[in-house]
Every structure is written in C-alpha cells, then in structure tokens.
Structure 1
Amino acid sequence: MNRLFGLIAALFVALPLAAALPAQAQKLDPQNTLYLDLKDGRVVIQLRPDLAPKHVAQIKKLTRAGFYDGLTFHRVIDGFMAQTGDPTGTGMGGSDEPNLPAEFSNAHFARGTLGMARTQDPNSANSQFFIMFADGGFLDGQYTVWGEVVSGMEFVDRIAKGEPPADPDKIIRMQVAADAK
C-alpha cells in the first residue's frame, strides 16, 4: 500500500512539472538536440535533419569533437543575428572538415532560427553559423536552415553586440543532448 501511495504522490509531483515545460521541449530527440551554454544560461536547439541532413551531421561531428567550446560570437548585429563558429574569431576561418553543399529549403528564417554562414559561394558553409534575433525572411531559400531555438532565446538576446563586439561573448560549451553529462 505504501508503494502505491508513493507512486501516486510521485505522479502528482511529476505531472505538473512536465506540463510546465514547453510542449516542444517535452518531445525532443536527444540525438537531434544541442545544448549551447552561454554566460547567462543554456540554449536548447532542436536540430533539423529533415531540412539539412549534411549540415546537421557536420554540426554534430564538430560539437562532439569540442570544436565550438570557447569560440566567440564575432559578428552580432542587434535586431538581426549573432554569428559564431570561427576559430580565428575573424569571420574568415572554419574547421578542417570539408565545405558543405547548400541544403536550401522553404523553411522561414524566423526569430530563433539557426542558419549556416557562407561566402558568396552557396556551397561554402563549413562551421560558422548564426542565430536569428528577429524575422529574416529575406534570407529564405538562400541560406541553409539547420536548427531552431526551443528554449533559452532570452540568453541569445544578451549576447554582446558588435562587428566584432568590443568584449565578445563565447560559447562556454556546446554538446549533443544525448552525450550531456
């Protein structure tokens, strides 16, 4: 009887906590979720392999290798986006992985959308990416969408602005949720 009472009590505690989470965060696949830890808190990103399987695979590979840990946000335009992923901090660098072919889609660049940065060559995306602060429909179909922020956008909003910022924020740690400790 005590066991049954304990189970019922646990359910009364757990159900309201689960209901408090955003519906989208409750059903995220840990293999396709990233944790982006910033100075102000954790950003949870849902990956979109349905839109950009090659880009998602490269982001996950680089994340698992620790590539993004400690990198700065080197280009942060208020009302537009925050860009990172360059180990040189200049906007000119990338990883040792090969560049990726464009995986453009009909996905809309809304607030919280993650896209791959590239040069004028559509097939030049490598490791740099950006997070949208606001709607950017003018980017639709021209850049690869590979993820979306599902929680923690308030921490993205606090990233230091500038091109480059005078005192740039860094990615403290980025990890695939399935690997998180």
Structure 2
Amino acid sequence: MRAWVLAAVCLAACATTTPPAATGQAGAETPTVPSLGDILQASPAADWRPLDPQNTIYMDLPQGRVIIELSPQYTPNHAANITALARAHYYDGAWIVRSQDNYVVQWGRDENEPAGYGEGHATIGAEFSRSRRGVSITRLVDPDSYAPVVGFAGGFPVAAEGDETWIAHCYGVVGAGRGDTADSGGGAELYVVIGQAPRHLDRNVTTVGRVIQGMEILSTMPRGTGPLGFYEQPSQRTPITRVRVEADIPESERAHLEVLRTDSATFRAVIDSRRTRRESWFLEPTGHINVCNVPLPVRVHSAG
C-alpha cells in the first residue's frame, strides 16, 4: 500500500480522472490522456527517493507536525547550522512571530530570551547562490521573468544565470531571515513562503529548503495585525513545541516520506501534464508553466 501526499492541489473538476476515450470520424478511438494520478501510479520505484534523515527537520506545533527538507547541495553551511541548532534544542520554545497575508510565515526566538546555540551559530555567511558546476538542472522551456534559466535540481525549484544558481522563492520554500547585511542571517530565524512567489527576494536571502509536509498548518496561521504581519501581542504567537533532526528520532516515529526525483522521466511527464492541461474541463490549455506552478509530489512509503 502507498498513501499519496501530493504537493499541489487542483480543482476537483480538473484533477484526477482520465477522460473516456472518444471516437473520431473514422471510428478510431482518440488516445486517453493520463492524469497526474495515473502518471504517479505508473512511476517506477527508482524515480522516487527517500528524504535524507540527516537533512530533514521535524517542527512540532500545537496544530501538528511540519517537515522540512534542507538542501545541502545549495546551502551546505546553512543546512549544517540549522541541524546543529535543532540538536541544541535552540528552536524549542521559540514562536511563530509573523504571518503576513500572501507572503510569508516566520518563526524564531524572542531577542530577550536566552538561547543555547550548541555547535550552531546565531549568524553565518550568506549563501544566496552557488556555482552551477556539478548541478544538473531539469530545465523548463518556458521563459521566466527573473532568470534566463529555471527548472529543478535535487527536488527544489531553482533558477540560474551564467555560472550562478539558486533556489527560487516558490510556495513552500523556506528561507533564513536576516537583517540589513548579508551575513546577519544563518537559520536562527526562518520563514516559509505562503503566498504568490516573491521572486524579487531571490539572491537577496538564503533559501535553505522547502516544506515537505504540513503547509496546511503554516499557511493558515492567523494573520498578524502589526506591520509586515508581525504579531503585536505575545498571546497571538504560536509556540514551537520542539524541532528535531529526523535522524535523531526513533524509526517508529518517522514519517517515511519519499519525493519524486526531479531528474526522472516521471517528473518530466508531470511537467508536461501540468504545462498543457488536456483534461476535458480545460477549454483553453495554456501550453506554458511557471517554475513555481509545477507540483513536487511527495508520498508516504510503506512496504507491501
């Protein structure tokens, strides 16, 4: 048995069924169009990969658990710092401090609260982008407003220009909050995109990973009433119960998630199915897609 957790939601009228075969004038059947569900169901096991437990973070809130995959390929220093902070229990007792409509939800510790960093650091150098050398990008053919190249690498939406590549600010992407200087962040404060992709933040903030499970918890946080969506009263904040690295959690308590490889044939079929919607509901298929509109499928893997 496999339970599916898809990283995108579609209208029920346009999503998961394959239309019946039609008969043309010559009596021949028109080929049916595979749905997204059909594509994923037919995918070989090799097209999926498990999350790396050393770079997967579990954040427990009163409303449930949020699971974040970090990207050491793009931001190795931030991935190491965030896992070090988690192992020092730095985030335990921190707060959701900001929820700005159509923008981001942010969390961190109060500046006046004592905190132990363990082997982590309050701030580290920025990792706004990295060299393209050694990075294989599954490219989109469609133009992008912010970069000459967009696509996917290692399970993340990415952009590139020249020898430079970075994780794009798409829905569900997690970034490291900072002050006015580039080296004033590091993961002690984090945020997640909950609205339309704020791509103007690309290469201005270090994007460290993406939410794999639990976006429905973060995206429905009560909106803050202060400037930029900050909560004006401590009572408005949501407490963070604990944050742990998956590798440090007993096997029986892990979510056992796996994600579709973005360098796989199945993922290329997913892009094609979303780029030109062929379901009968669509009267005008667009034939184009934005890097932030391609779903990144996730599923729970169980033996059997």
Which TM-score applies when normalising by structure 2? 0.49
SS of structure 2 residue aligned to 1:88 = coil
More strand, by proportion: 2
How much has 1:114 moved relative to structure 2? 0.6
- How many residues are treated as equivalent by the alignment? 163
Q: Output aligned runs, 1:17-96, within 5 Å.
A: 17=2, 19-21=3-5, 27-88=50-111
Gaps in structure 2 of 5+ consecutive residues? 7-39, 41-46, 130-165, 225-229, 251-304
Letter in 2 for 1:133: I
Letter in 2 for 1:47: L
Q: Which amino acid aligns with 2:71?
A: R
Question: Is contact 1:76-1:165 (8 Å) kept?
Answer: no
The one of 117, 127, 130 aligned to 1:103? 127
TM-score by length of 1: 0.80
Residue identity matched to 1:121: T
Structure-2 change in CA distance of 1:156 and 1:148 (3 Å): same
CA contact (8 A) 1:87 1:95 kept: no
Question: Could you tell me which residue of structure 1 aligns to residue 219 of structure 2?
Answer: 157
Q: Note if 1:115 corresponds to 2:138.
A: no
- How far apart are the structure 2 equivalents of 1:45 and 1:36? 8
Q: CA deviation at 1:88?
A: 2.8
CA shift for structure 1 position 87: 3.4
Aligned to 2:137: none
Relative to structure 1, the CA distance from residue 66 to residue 94 in structure 2 (aligned partners, 3 Å threshold; closer, same or farther) is closer
Preserved CA contact (<8 Å) 2:125 2:185:
yes
- % identity of equivalent residues: 32
Three-state SS of the structure 2 residue aligned to 1:43 is strand
Structure of higher CA gyration radius: 2
What root-mean-square deviation, in Å, do the aligned CA atoms of Structure 1 and Structure 2 show? Answer: 2.4
Counterpart of 1:180 in structure 2 is 249
SS of residue in 1 equivalent to 2:240: coil
Q: Which runs of 5+ in 1 are unaligned?
A: 1-15
Q: Indicate the structure with greater helix content.
A: 1
